[in-house]
Structures are given as C-alpha cells and as structure tokens.
C-alpha cells in the first residue's frame, strides 16, 4: 500500500499568513493527489484534485502543486474560515489512502 506522510501535523498561523502543507508519497503517484478540508463535526470537502486543479467554488487563495512523490497545498492568505484540518489523499490505481492530516490553528 502507498503511504502518505503530511507535514507538519499542526501549525499556528494568523489571518493573512501564507501557509504551506507538504504531502509525501511512499512511491510515485504521478499527479493522483487530492486535498480535502475538514471542519469539526463535518464531512471533508474537496479543495484540489489532480494535484493542482481547483474544485469549483473553492477560493483561489488555495492552490496545489507537485508530482511524483512530493506535493504541496498553499493557502496564499489565510482567512478565518480556513482554520480546519487538511488531508491529502492519493488515488493511484484505485487503491486509496490519506495522509494523517494537518491541523491549522489560530495563532
């Protein structure tokens, strides 16, 4: 199975900050990488698919990049509603797995 490792596990940031979260795969997954946002008590919400494609309705402050084994999610200017937990997910060969999550907290 492909293992996904996110870093950091948590971070504290202020409104307006630029935030970057990294996700590494244990083997190449090309660009079969998605990002989700989850708020407490809610189901996850898709942000980015195919490593860099922004889901419809998601603010352009979110962006994704990477290929192969290393990927990043960037929030260019953190907004109050962005404080949440973020997960990467790989879908290579239809065997799926998630990273352990990154909790973004208010500084």
- Positions touching another protein (CB under 8 A) are 1, 31-32, 34, 36, 38, 43-44, 46, 49-51, 53, 85, 87, 89, 91, 94-101
- If residue 24 lies in a helix (H) or strand (E), which one and from where to where? strand 19-25
The half-sphere exposure of 39 on its side-chain side, counting CA atoms within 13 A, is: 7
Shortest distance in whole angstroms from residue 86 CB to another protein: 11
Query: What does each C-alpha distance from 31 to 39, 65, 81, 99 come to in angstroms?
Result: 25, 9, 27, 15
Nearest approach, Cβ of residue 42 and another protein (Å): 8
* Residue nearer to another protein on the CB measure, 63 or 91: 91
Instruction: Give the nearest distance from C-beta 82 to another protein in angstroms.
Output: 18
């Amino acid at each position: 199975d492909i293992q996904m490792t996110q870093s950091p596990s948590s971070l504290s940031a202020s409104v307006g900050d630029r935030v970057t979260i990294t996700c590494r795969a244990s083997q190449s997954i090309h660009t079969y990488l998605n990002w989700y946002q989850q708020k407490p008590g809610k189901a996850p919400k898709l942000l980015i698919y195919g490593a860099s494609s922004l889901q419809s309705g998601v603010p352009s402050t979110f962006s994704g990049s990477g290929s192969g084994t290393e990927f990043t999610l960037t929030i260019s200017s953190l907004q109050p509603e962005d404080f949440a937990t973020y997960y990467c997910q790989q879908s290579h060969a239809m065997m799926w797995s998630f990273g352990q999550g990154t909790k973004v907290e208010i500084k």
